[in-house]
Amino acid sequence: MSRPGKFGKSSRTKQLRQFRRRKQQQTHSVLTWDQVEDFLLGRYHLVQGIKLPTIVDATVQRFFSEWLVTALAAGPEQIQWDVATITETTLKRIGNQVPWQFYAVLSGQHDHWEKFLWREVPVMPIAPRRQVTDSLSPTDFAQVLAQQLAVNLLTVSAVPVTTSQRDQLATSLVAADHLQWSAVSALFTPLGFKVSTSADQETSQWLNDLQVLTVSDFH
């Protein structure tokens, strides 16, 4: 698989530094636009992330950080945050910069993470308030992940494929509305995943820790 790019260099240290600024941010009655990412990452870690295993928390935090980059790119005038569209766009950008276990972790945490969005974003202290729209059900999210995993796999093969072939591969990864991680592992593991030598130490450790996870960890 291709080596991690910009996403792979995302530093957990930066997120923790942002989290430490949370108390200062909360002293203001209204957030400024450039405080939104820090605030929501801090809120997530406070109310949910601290309850999770370290590798799971780090993975969701990194995804959430990228998700917020996508959401915030539309600018402060965009009041509505379309969860389905933002999620799909974010996953496409991440692509195969991460091992398949990254997607498996997200699959297990998606429901909790999306409930956090629907609960926290509308009451975020910013003017005007944001609106969250178009949720992804567990079934929908499984389909989104299957499509992305199919694209990742076909991208690695570097062979031109049709939309029909991509859809067929995605369909083969899902059974009873659930992703079959044993099938995903069987397809991706032989390809291997190399951590870029340019990745910072924290990112390298995170990616290596992800690769240690096996199918049995997702049941």
For residue 179, the cross-strand partners are: 174
| In a domain? residue 207 | yes
For residue 133, the cross-strand partners are: 82
pLDDT class for 160, splitting at 50, 70, 90?
A: confident
Nearest to 196 by CA among 188, 207, 187: 207
pLDDT class for 198, splitting at 50, 70, 90?
A: confident
| In a domain? residue 145 | yes
| In a domain? residue 175 | yes
Determine the pLDDT at residue 50. 84
3-state SS assignment for residue 197: coil
**Structure-model confidence comparison of residues 53 and 198, the more confident one:** 53
Spatial distance between the Cα atoms of 194 and 42, rounded to a whole number of angstroms: 30
Q: Is the pLDDT of residue 1 over 50?
A: no
Q: Rounded mean pLDDT of 18-44?
A: 75
pLDDT class for 27, splitting at 50, 70, 90?
A: very low
Q: Is the pLDDT of residue 86 over 80?
A: yes
| Integer CA distances (angstroms), 122 to 63, 79, 80, 82, 111, in order | 20, 10, 10, 13, 17
| In a domain? residue 2 | no
What domain count does the chain have?
1
Determine the pLDDT at residue 25. 45
| In a domain? residue 218 | no
Determine the pLDDT at residue 61. 95
Q: Rounded mean pLDDT of 86-113?
A: 97
Q: Rounded mean pLDDT of 155-168?
A: 83
- Which structural domain range is residue 38 located in? 7-213
Spatial distance between the Cα atoms of 93 and 45, rounded to a whole number of angstroms: 23
pLDDT class for 199, splitting at 50, 70, 90?
A: confident
Q: Is the pLDDT of residue 217 over 50?
A: yes
| In a domain? residue 1 | no
For residue 131, the cross-strand partners are: 80
| In a domain? residue 219 | no
Nearest to 181 by CA among 95, 105, 97: 105
| In a domain? residue 187 | yes
Class of residue 8 by CB neighbours under 10 A (exposed 0-12, middle 13-18, buried 19+): buried
Helix orientation angle between 100-120 and 181-188, rounded to the nearest 10 degrees: 130
Spatial distance between the Cα atoms of 188 and 151, rounded to a whole number of angstroms: 12
Determine the pLDDT at residue 5. 47
**Structure-model confidence comparison of residues 28 and 188, the more confident one:** 188
Determine the pLDDT at residue 14. 53
Q: Rounded mean pLDDT of 117-138?
A: 96
3-state SS assignment for residue 179: strand
Q: What is the pTM of this model?
A: 0.88
Taking all residues of the chain, what is their mean pLDDT, rounded to a whole number? 88
Nearest to 1 by CA among 210, 173, 200: 210
